Structure 1
């Protein structure tokens, strides 16, 4: 798939280097994601779920609840479609672990594919989701271009939805006389926008409520003032600055 993305960006067909199945399998099994292997993510999830269930049973016993009440505490209630129990929360955690694991594996393979085709791909661009759920770190990275061997990569955190796209060499750099490709589009929560629109530019065009949900009330005020952009909310190491630090910048 990643090789196809590169091919789509080129005016002529070029033989690209693809990764072998054993190489991809090795990445899935042995390449850490946020410091842990995929199996460790799921092992920890199982342990955490067992601990939570045991905690609820102990609470139920201490409060003199019957079996049915303890089951409702763990499974949830029919009234709320079983969304209010421990297992419902565990399903959400499982979804987040799966999302993070898939993101990590896909991005590991993606980076290796880009590097294997360094004769065509010169850099990597960060792409964040344009909605109010994107964290400040990912919002700051959106649209930034990093070298093939440096800079941050997704996933940056548990449940990260970010990805990267290849920055291919220009036609001139590749030795072709073609005109540059016209700009394309990218998805946002309320429609499609030009692909060069960054998270900060997109957020600037949103209403006050969306800005405050995304950033918090005070940070949204600083953002609307025009004195600080979303990239100012994070330092060079990817640390989110405190309000006190931001107000000092302002």
Structure 2
């Protein structure tokens, strides 16, 4: 039942290893996006400079639509985005499969670290394979659905920027460069969404596999603990949820998009498991105590001035920092309670 230093160390190593898998996907996708943009920017630049030479105002929609060079460059961009979408699906699906397999191994080690010495259980990973395969398949389906609009939306954004135009300067090249900056931002909008999908869906696959592994060991478990990375990058909701205990049947942790939190299994007490032994001390750190001990600068970075002022005044409690919300087309999550709602309830 006690979370020893070994238990916490294993949980920390597990989520760090998962983070490395995700970071590799992020680097691959980012590099591919940059390479794709570099491949089309020359054609876009040439088409725009030619259109703007001698122009007294930004070309109208009809002129833009009839320019074969510009439309060819935009079509090349759409083709590149299609290829990038395929890359997202393959990279994220592979990462999700890897993390689902890893989760089963991680949970077994974390559970064993809480049992009396010499009482480690036999490896039961093989019994989880069917569940892991189902989780991987569901994740692949979600990734396909989530990435389907990326090409369409980025292409639409680029064409919208062209129609909107920019103020003409004296030099067509300078004007084209300013428009290219707008087009690059629209093109990279797909990347930002892709990275959110990659981080969120792969971690969710890891969490679902962890839940399946915990369910497989329900005979020795009392529930699971929400563990957050208690650093300056953590949001107030993650800090507030850290250390909370949940039943095995509850999914989670239901973190916000790109949340780095994890679930760690908690065993029943040694005496409940039939061992007449005294357990070591539980070492799960108290997040509120740790937060109060942080330098003021870090507290502000995590919580923000208005929220921190309410907390310092005692107008809100630690548990008020997180609230569960429903999201259309996605699962529920625990997010930071807006300051306006905290002020209203204070």
One fold, TM greater than 0.5?
A: yes
Segment of structure 1 superposing worse, 161-170 or 225-234: 225-234
Superimposed CA distance per residue, residues 86-137 of structure 1 (whole angstroms, 9 cap, x where no aligned partner): 4555434322211101111011111111111111111011112213333333
Partner of 1:136: 236
Partner of 2:319: 231
| 1:94-105 equivalences in 2 (<5 Å) | 94-105=194-205
Answering whether residue 212 of structure 2 is matched by residue 73 of structure 1, we say: no
Name the structure with the higher helix share: 2
Q: Is the 8 A contact 1:30 1:37 kept in 2?
A: yes
Residues 209 and 25 of structure 1: CA distance in aligned 2, closer, same or farther (over 3 Å): same
Shift of 1:244: 5.3
Q: Where do 5+ consecutive residues of structure 1 fail to align? A: 76-84, 185-194
Q: Distance in 2 between matches of 1:230 and 1:172?
A: 33
Q: Where do 5+ consecutive residues of structure 2 fail to align? A: 1-104, 326-333
Q: Is the 8 A contact 2:223 2:266 kept in 1?
A: yes
Q: Provide the aligned C-alpha RMSD in A.
A: 3.0
Partner of 2:301: 213
Superimposed CA distance per residue, residues 212-239 of structure 1 (whole angstroms, 9 cap, x where no aligned partner): 2322212101212345333123457657
Q: Distance in 2 between matches of 1:45 and 1:201?
A: 43
Q: Distance in 2 between matches of 1:135 and 1:121?
A: 29
Partner of 1:125: 225
Partner of 1:81: none
Shift of 1:31: 5.8
Segment of structure 1 superposing worse, 86-95 or 104-113: 86-95
| 1:169-248 equivalences in 2 (<5 Å) | 169-183=268-282, 195-198=284-287, 200-235=288-323, 241-243=337-339, 245-247=341-343
How many residues align structurally?
A: 225
| 1:81-100 equivalences in 2 (<5 Å) | 85-100=185-200
Q: Among residues 108, 124, 135, which one is paired with 1:27 in the alignment?
A: 135
Segment of structure 1 superposing worse, 95-104 or 154-163: 154-163
Q: SS of the counterpart of 1:171?
A: coil
**TM-score normalized by the length of structure 1:** 0.74
Q: SS of the counterpart of 2:264?
A: strand
Partner of 2:252: 153
**TM-score normalized by the length of structure 2:** 0.56
Q: Distance in 2 between matches of 1:125 and 1:144?
A: 6
Q: Is the 8 A contact 1:126 1:165 kept in 2?
A: yes
Segment of structure 1 superposing worse, 240-249 or 116-125: 240-249
Q: SS of the counterpart of 2:271?
A: helix
Partner of 1:162: 261
Q: Distance in 1 between matches of 2:152 and 2:259?
A: 22
Q: Distance in 1 between matches of 2:266 and 2:243?
A: 11
Q: SS of the counterpart of 1:228?
A: coil
Q: Distance in 1 between matches of 2:252 and 2:237?
A: 12
Q: Find runs of 4+ consecutive structure 1 residues off by over 6 angstroms.
A: none
Residues 107 and 46 of structure 1: CA distance in aligned 2, closer, same or farther (over 3 Å): farther
